[in-house]
Amino acid sequence: MISLQKLFGKSDVFYDLLEASAEEAKLSVEALNTLMALPAGAQNIDALILSRRKDKKITEQIAEQLCLTFVTELEREDIEALSTALYKIPKTVEKIAERVIITNGRLTAVNFSKQLGMMAEAAEILATMVRQLRKKMHLERMKDMNTKLQFIEGEADKLMLDLLRDLYSGKYEPLQVIMVKDLYELIEKVIDRCRDAGNVVFQVVLKYS
């Protein structure tokens, strides 16, 4: 006989898993910041690989729980959309770390601090938004945080244009231009991923407000 608990499930499990996924996204960004502050010979991507693997496991658990749970407090489509959006963050962050490692110290003179700062702020805001879901979604606070995410993404776009303008000025070696442009685009993509996940959270809040 199927128990009522298995049939209806515990609503907390999806909040727990989504919060854990958002936390792994934030931790992966923090690990990248740590990695990029180290000299080339000391850089190691083990922490980022571990974070991405943990998040993949969480994503798999969410999918499994959706199969086992008949009724969910949040709509199933929203849970799936947010889970997918969150997983893309550490996956992209790991790609950045891989690119940094294979440049073999050729980019030590390039300053990524502004972009990394924006990325860290976006990941922190997103993690806060996900934690707020179980607290029955204070609409105005969520709106403020989502607006902040949109602002960060817009500022990142402006910064990207300025950085590319400098990169295309002709004062850099062609190989360096390729490597730096690749990293610029991946960092911007992480910020875009945070914005996308934030949009999912905000749309959920609007449904239940």
Task: Give the CATH number for residue 152.
Answer: 1.20.58.220
State the average pLDDT over residues 185-206: 95
pLDDT at 11: 61
Q: How far apart are alpha carbons 140 and 70 in whole angstroms? A: 31
- The tens digit of pLDDT for each residue in 142-184 reads 999 999 999 999 999 999 999 999 999 988 899 999 999 999 9
Residues in the chain: 209
If you average pLDDT over every residue of the chain, what do you get? 90
Tell me the mean pLDDT in the region 111-116: 92
**Buried-exposed string 162-189: b where 16+ CB fall within 10 A, e elsewhere:** ebeeebeeeebeeebbebbbebbebbbb
**% of the chain exceeding 90 in pLDDT:** 71
Q: Count the Cβ atoms, other than its own, within 10 Å of residue 70.
A: 10
The first and second tokens of residue 127, run together, are 């993690």
Q: Which residues contact 66 (CB under 8 A, 6 or more apart)?
A: 72, 76, 79, 80
Phi and psi at residue 37, to the nearest 5°: -85, -10
- Contact indicator for 76, 14 with CB cutoff of 8 Å: no
pLDDT at position 6? 43
* Beta-carbon-side half-sphere exposure of residue 186 (alpha carbons within 13 Å): 20
Q: How many domains does the chain have?
A: 1
Q: Is the pLDDT of residue 10 over 70?
A: no
Q: Domain limits at 111?
A: 4-208
Q: Taking the model in full, what pTM does it have?
A: 0.89
Q: How confident is the model at residue 137 (pLDDT cuts 50, 70, 90)?
A: low
Judged against a pLDDT cut of 50, whether residue 75 lies above it is answered with yes
